[in-house]
Structure 1
């Protein structure tokens, strides 16, 4: 009888794997279909479909809040660091090129297929999407196998199997329609990239574990440092299929799973005391930090062009939606090239962000003196950045330099300024961190909270809290889409109006 129970468990896990694959991949595909022929990002549709799907699964009795009955969906929502590692690596490459003025051979080894498989998705893009899913599931499973992860979860005994399926699937999923100069080399590059990402995640885990008695810095912090360092060392590395897949589809796949988990907690969230203020600040804070930052870039930085606005705001907020849209190429080629640099630069500030937050989490309250100091430094850097951008006169290097400083400065203002405002409003630290992480769609804070840095309740609720401000994203991506159609120039009046609405909404969230 025990034999049959084991066999049923194996079959059930495989069924769960393919069900998750079907739900996540179809969600991304249908989102791309919705925006096909426009300049809008599919991420804004993934938000809506994900939340609805999660809510329906709970309301119909298929699952409970958190979707514990669907462990691989929950598992897929927690591979954030894997998805970001590729962006960090590319950012390291771009920073090295910028610093050393390297001349790089731009000849690519791959010419993607131009034929559409589905409306809005070409054959090569479809293979990248599937491969990204397999890579992230496989790499995270192997990482947990190596470190001996066991948390009394349904998947604990199946990580080796999932790791094998994920890695093998990612190796063989190559689009035969794409023109590849040297297929064996291309495939080997993918295997090497997968191995390096796995090594980075394992090493980041052990470093975080070793340093935890001193300060509880999250794994994503060390994964960022290691990935950026590798990118700077191997600045001439031409991407294999692993990095290409994660850049194109890593973030959309993670967000699709996250929004399903978040949608499953809608009813539960509104029953918790104080959650209305958390959600209100997350929603209106998104307007403040996003459109307030755009206002600064447009009015004071004279940088009103998509090549500046998209990567500048993606980097300055570590913004998951804009990051995914930029790296996937949805917001133009220049934004795609600049985004990895801007995404990495603010992570220098994360030395302070996570150090102070870790110390605050240990003491149970925000450390106000350090917070005030960091906000002041952030405001100074933001002012310097705007001066640099104002005098750039479309010179690429000066624009990039200004955006790099802006990304760091505005990030410090948004993270610690938001936490300071919430602290003055009387909100507890754990709720404040959730509210501010969602207010800036900050991937780093999201991953840290999800990893348990601020307790189990915050770790359980962050998927929903993080998802709700994404309902603002039709406005965000709608305006960026309009900007793309307007030769890269953003309409300014609507930006000012939304920033003002955000300020009023934040005041409402704090007072009521």
Structure 2
């Protein structure tokens, strides 16, 4: 009888694996089909379909909130760090290029297939998408096997199997239609990249664990530092299939799973005390910090071009959706190259960010004096950046320098300015961190909350809270899509109007809702 039970469990987990694969991959493909022929990002559609899928699963009784009946969906939603390492690595390469003032060899070893497999998705892109799913599952599973992860979860006994399936699948999934200079070398590059990412995750885990008694910095901080250092050291590395896949589809895959989990908690969220303020701030805060930042760049920084606006806001807010759109190439080549630089820069300040947040979590309240000091520093860097951008005169080096400072300054302002505003509105620390993370779609805070830094309730609810401001993304990606179609120039009136609505909405969320 025990053998029959084991066989049933093994069969069930394989069914779960392929079911998750089908749901996530089809969601991304359908999203790409919806925006085919436009300059809009598919992440906009992933939000809607993900939330709907999660909600439908719970409403029909197929699942409970959190999708515990679909453990691999939940598992896939928690591999955010793995998906971002490729972007951090690419950012390190670009930073090395800036420091050395030397152009890197741009000769590529792969010419992607231009043949369309599905509307909006070419054959090579499809293989990147499928491969990204296998990579994310495989690497995270092997990490958990090595560190001995055991939380009495349904998947605990199956990580070796999932790791094997993921890693083997990721090795063999190469598009035969793409023109590859040296296919054996290309495949070996993919294996090396996979091993390196796994190594970075393990180092980040053990370093974070070792220093936790002194400072509670999350794993994502150390993963970023190690990835950037690796990128700077291997600045001439030509990307293999692993990094290419994660850059193209890593974030969309993770977001698709996250929004499914978030959608399953829609009904629960509105029953929690104080959640109205959290959700309202998340929604209107997205308008305030996103379009407020755009307004500052446009009106004060005189930098109204998508090559500045997209990576500038992706970096300054550590914005998961906009980062995914940039790294996937949806917003142009310049934005694709600059975004990894900008998302790396604010993490330098995260030593202070997470130190203060960790101390605040221990105290049970936000430490106001330190918060105001960080906000002041953020305003200083923002003003400095605007002066540089204003005088950049379309010079690449000056624009990048200005955007790097803006990314750091506006992030410090948004993170701690937002937390300070929420404290003034009598919102508790855990709820405030959730609200602010969602308001700026900050993947660093999201990963920290998801990892339990602010308690189990926040860890469970963050997927839904984080998803809600993505309903603003029709406006965000709509205006960026319009900008792309308008030769990179963003319409100014909608930006000002939406920023103003954000200000009014935030005041409502804090003092009325």
TM-score range, shorter chain: over 0.9
Rounded Cα–Cα distance in structure 2 between residues aligned with 1:48 and 1:344: 28
> 1:39: which partner in 2?
39
Q: 1:94-133, aligned counterparts within 5 Å?
A: 94-133=94-133
Rounded Cα–Cα distance in structure 2 between residues aligned with 1:47 and 1:114: 27
Cα deviation, residue 324, structure 1? 0.1
Rounded Cα–Cα distance in structure 2 between residues aligned with 1:91 and 1:59: 42
Output one character per residue of 1:230-283: Cα deviation in whole Å (capped at 9) or x when no partner.
011100100000000000000000000000000000000000000000000000
> Is the partner of 1:117 in helix, strand or coil?
strand
Q: Moved runs in structure 1, 4+ residues, more than 6 A?
A: none
Matched, 1:347 2:347: yes
Q: How many residues align?
A: 512
> Is the partner of 1:68 in helix, strand or coil?
coil
Cα deviation, residue 415, structure 1? 0.2
Output one character per residue of 1:298-353: Cα deviation in whole Å (capped at 9) or x when no partner.
00000000000000000000000000000000000110011110010111111111
Rounded Cα–Cα distance in structure 2 between residues aligned with 1:62 and 1:104: 52
> 1:81: which partner in 2?
81
Output one character per residue of 1:122-173: Cα deviation in whole Å (capped at 9) or x when no partner.
0000000000000000000000000000000000000000000000000000
> 1:500: which partner in 2?
500
Matched, 1:273 2:273: yes
> 1:356: which partner in 2?
356
Q: 1:100-499, aligned counterparts within 5 Å?
A: 100-499=100-499
Rounded Cα–Cα distance in structure 1 between residues aligned with 2:392 and 2:204: 38
Cα deviation, residue 362, structure 1? 1.2
> Is the partner of 2:117 in helix, strand or coil?
strand
Rounded Cα–Cα distance in structure 2 between residues aligned with 1:442 and 1:132: 22
Rounded Cα–Cα distance in structure 1 between residues aligned with 2:383 and 2:213: 37
Cα deviation, residue 102, structure 1? 2.2
Rounded Cα–Cα distance in structure 2 between residues aligned with 1:103 and 1:153: 48
Rounded Cα–Cα distance in structure 1 between residues aligned with 2:69 and 2:510: 36
Rounded Cα–Cα distance in structure 2 between residues aligned with 1:97 and 1:192: 23
Rounded Cα–Cα distance in structure 2 between residues aligned with 1:456 and 1:268: 15
> Is the partner of 2:156 in helix, strand or coil?
coil
Unaligned segments of structure 2, at least 5 residues? none
Rounded Cα–Cα distance in structure 1 between residues aligned with 2:84 and 2:106: 24
Unaligned segments of structure 1, at least 5 residues? none
Output one character per residue of 1:28-75: Cα deviation in whole Å (capped at 9) or x when no partner.
000000000000000000000000000000000000000000000000
Rounded Cα–Cα distance in structure 2 between residues aligned with 1:103 and 1:220: 29
Q: 1:17-32, aligned counterparts within 5 Å?
A: 17-32=17-32
Cα deviation, residue 423, structure 1? 0.6
Output one character per residue of 1:409-438: Cα deviation in whole Å (capped at 9) or x when no partner.
000000000000001111100000000000
> Is the partner of 1:5 in helix, strand or coil?
helix
The alignment's C-alpha RMSD in Å is: 0.4
Rounded Cα–Cα distance in structure 2 between residues aligned with 1:49 and 1:363: 39
Give TM-score, length-normalised by structure 1. 1.00
Cα deviation, residue 103, structure 1? 2.9
Rounded Cα–Cα distance in structure 1 between residues aligned with 2:3 and 2:267: 40
Rounded Cα–Cα distance in structure 2 between residues aligned with 1:382 and 1:103: 28
Rounded Cα–Cα distance in structure 1 between residues aligned with 2:105 and 2:247: 20
Rounded Cα–Cα distance in structure 2 between residues aligned with 1:38 and 1:136: 28
Q: Could you tell which deviates more after superposition, 322-331 or 211-220?
A: 211-220
> Is the partner of 1:175 in helix, strand or coil?
coil
